[in-house]
Amino acid sequence: AKDSERGSYAFYDSILTEAAARKLYIANELRTAIDENQLEVHYQPVYSLNDQRIIGCEALVRWQHPLHGMMMPADFITIAEDAGLISTIDNWVMYHACHQAQQWLQQGLALSFMSVNISSRLFDRGDFLTSSLQKALLDSGLPSHYLELEITESSIMQDPSQSTALLHELRNTGVRLAIDDFGTGYSSLSRLKHLPVDKFKIDRTFVQNLPHDAGDLAIIRAIAYLSDSFDLVIQAEGVETREQADFLQQYPGILLQGYLYGKPMPAADFATLLADSPAP
Contacting positions for ligand C2E (CB under 6 A)? 44, 60-61, 72-74, 77, 86, 89-90, 93, 117, 119, 180-181, 238-240, 257-259, 264
Task: Sort residue 64 into left (φ over 0), alpha (ψ -120 to 50) or beta.
Answer: beta
Beta strand pairing call for 39-48 and 53-65: antiparallel
117 near Ca ion (CB under 5 A):
yes
> Which of 29, 183 has the CB closer to Ca ion?
183
**CA nearest to 202, candidates 230, 177, 172, 224:** 224
Q: Which of 29, 180, 198, 216 is the binder for Ca ion (CB under 5 A)?
A: 180
Q: What does 61 bind: Ca ion, ligand C2E, none (CB cut-off 5 to 8 Å by kind)? A: ligand C2E
Spatial separation of the C-alpha atoms in residues 46 and 28, rounded to whole Å: 34
> Which of 76, 251 has the CB closer to ligand C2E?
76
Spatial separation of the C-alpha atoms in residues 56 and 75, rounded to whole Å: 26
> Which of 65, 108 has the CB closer to ligand C2E?
65
Contacts of 52 (CB under 8 A, 6+ apart): 278
Interaxial angle between packed helices 126-140 and 160-172, expressed in degrees from 0 to 180 and rounded to the nearest 10 = 20
Q: How far is the CB of 190 from ligand C2E (least distance, A)?
A: 26
Span of 21-29, 174-182, 209-217, 249-257 interacting with Ca ion by CB under 5 A: 174-182
> Which of 12, 257 has the CB closer to ligand C2E?
257
